[in-house]
Homo-oligomer: A and B are copies of this chain.
Amino acid sequence: MPITIKDIAKRTGVNHSTVSRALHGSNLISVETAERIRKAAREMGYQPSAAARSLKTRRSKVLGVIVSSIEDPFFSEIVFGIEAVAQDNGYSLFIGSSQHDNQRERKIVQTMLEHRTDGVIVCSSSFSVEHGRQLLDHGFPIVVVNHQATENFHYSIFHDDIDGSRQVTRHLIGLGHQRIAYLGNSVSGRTTLDRLSGFQAEMEAAGLPIPEGYIQHVPGGTALEGREGLQHFNGVAEFPTAIICYNDMIAIGLLQACREAGIHVPQDLSITGFDNISFSAFTHPPLTTFDQPKSSIGAEAARLLFELIDAEQKVTPGTQYVKILKGSLLVRSSTAAVLP
């Protein structure tokens, strides 16, 4: 049976409301009694009941985080950034990973609703519009991270994928590459399209053509899908000298497939990733990639959400707030100058 403020009140001979005020540092209470009460609370090992507090204050001091898969190192670094900011503001996190499963997503949203989470951060590109609407209808402030359907949510944090992709492409062009291909992820929506258009824009700026079949998409973002990618390019007229991959995991799979096929990276083929997950430093060869500021993205999302919570929906409706963060190119050893 946990200790309550009434227990403390009984022991110190005051009313429970006095205890409540003393523990909140209210200046209505004299310093001596306040100190006496705090001392008793410490000695008795008092821990306030979050349930009772949030029932009364209508603030749960909890943020909901919905992520497609928590074991994906990309997302866990974003969560890391969120958690730091949340802790600084005295908030805890409710994390749910949907695993791209609508049923699980439903249960997670249900949990957020029941726990009256003060706000929700969505880091799942596949998050369904229906569930988003459900949260919004219940008045939940929402911030989405890298989401495709930005028109459905008013507050988003984005990474500048176009800029990142241009930097990667420019790096390859600078190394003398002319036949550069793009291997995308067809299920990731806006993100893959931005990276594709950044690639296209930079190629066009350099006056380089993109041959037939040089733009391919695999249905997913894991290493297994990356392995499949190689087969696509084996079918084109002239094999590329460089392949830009949608993300690190695809690049890693492609790397393995190339090794098995006797294609040497970077001598025969340059390969680039995207995201800079921690593992990409330990591939063979270490992967040239684009370092997305994952932790900052998470932190920024949390900060924006806290602003919304403080504003209590008093922001003018109809406005759309979008914050765009930039990353930086990380050159390792999977790219090299093209042979003359």
Binding site for B on A (CB under 8 A): 2, 45, 47-52, 54-55, 60, 70-71, 73, 76-77, 79-80, 83, 87, 92-97, 104, 107, 110-111, 113-116, 137-138, 223, 252-253, 255-256, 259, 278-279, 281-284, 286
When distances are taken between beta carbons in the complex, the residues of chain B under 8 Å from A114 are: 47-50
Which B residues lie within 8 Å of A282 (CB)? Answer: 223, 252-253, 255-256, 283
Specify the chain B residue showing the minimal Cβ separation from A60. Answer: B51
- Contact of A116 with B73 in the complex, beta carbons under 8 Å: no
Q: For A223, list chain B residues within 8 Å (CB).
A: 281-282
* Complex alpha-carbon distance, A73 and B277, angstroms: 12
B92–A92 contact, CB under 8 A? no
Q: Which residue of B lies closest to A113 (CB)?
A: B47
Closest Cβ of chain B to A120, distance in Å, is 14
Contact of A284 among B52, B79, B284 (CB under 8 A): B284
Pair A70/B60 contact, Cβ less than 8 Å: no
A79 contact set on B, CB distance < 8 A? 70-71
With A55-B51, A71-B76 in contact, is A45–B256 under 8 Å at CB?
A: no
* In-complex Cβ contact of A116 among B49, B87, B94 (8 A): B49
Query: Which residue of B76, B92, B284 contacts A76 across the interface (Cβ within 8 Å)?
Result: B76
Chain B residues with CB below 8 A from A115, complex form: 50-51, 92
Instruction: Report the minimum CB–CB distance from A34 to chain B (whole Å).
Output: 21
How far is it, in angstroms, between the C-alpha of A122 and the C-alpha of B242 when the chains are bound?
A: 46
Q: A49–B55 Cα gap in the complex (Å)?
A: 8
Contact B116 A2 (CB under 8 A): yes
**A73 in complex: contacting residue of B55, B73, B93, B107, CB < 8 Å:** B73
